[in-house]
Chain A
Amino acid sequence: MTTETTDTITIRFFARLREELGAEQLTVPAQPGLTTGQILAELARRGGPWAQLQGSQPVMIAVNQTMAKPSTAVQGGDEVAFFPPVTGG
Chain B
Amino acid sequence: MISIQTEDFDPAAEYAELRDSGAGTGAIATFTGLVRDSGDMKGVTGLYLEHYPGMTEQVIGNLIETASSRWSVRKARVIHRVGRLALQDQIVFVGVCSAHREDAFAACQFIMDALKTSAPFWKKEITASGEHWVEQKESDVARSKTWE
State whether the Cβ of B142 lies closer than 8 Å to any Cβ in chain A: no
A66 to B55, CA, bound (A): 7
Main secondary structure of the interface of B (DSSP, over half): mixed
CB contacts (< 8 Å) of A81 on chain B: these are 52, 55, 120
Q: How far is the CA of A88 from the CA of B121 in the complex (A)?
A: 5
A2 at the interface (CB under 8 A from B): no
> Could you say which of B55, B58, B123, B135 contacts A88, with CB atoms under 8 Å apart?
B123
Identify A16's interface contact among B112, B133, B140, CB under 8 A.
Answer: B133
Number of A residues, CB within 8 Å of B: 17
Interface residues of A in 1-53 (CB under 8 A from B): 12, 14-16, 19
Kindly identify which residue among B118, B122, B136 contacts A14, using a CB–CB cutoff of 8 Å.
B122
Contacts A14-B50, A14-B120, A81-B52; is A87 near B58 (CB within 8 Å)? Answer: no
Q: Is the CB of B135 within 8 A of A83?
A: no
Interface residues in B, total, Cβ within 8 A = 28
B interface residue numbers (CB < 8 A to A) = 33, 49-52, 54-55, 58, 80, 91-92, 112, 115-124, 133-137, 140
Given A62-B52, A87-B123, A88-B123: 19 more A-B contacts, CB < 8 Å = A14-B50, A14-B120, A15-B122, A15-B124, A62-B120, A65-B58, A66-B58, A81-B52, A84-B122, A84-B136, A86-B120, A87-B116, A87-B122, A87-B136, A88-B122, A89-B33, A89-B92, A89-B121, A89-B140
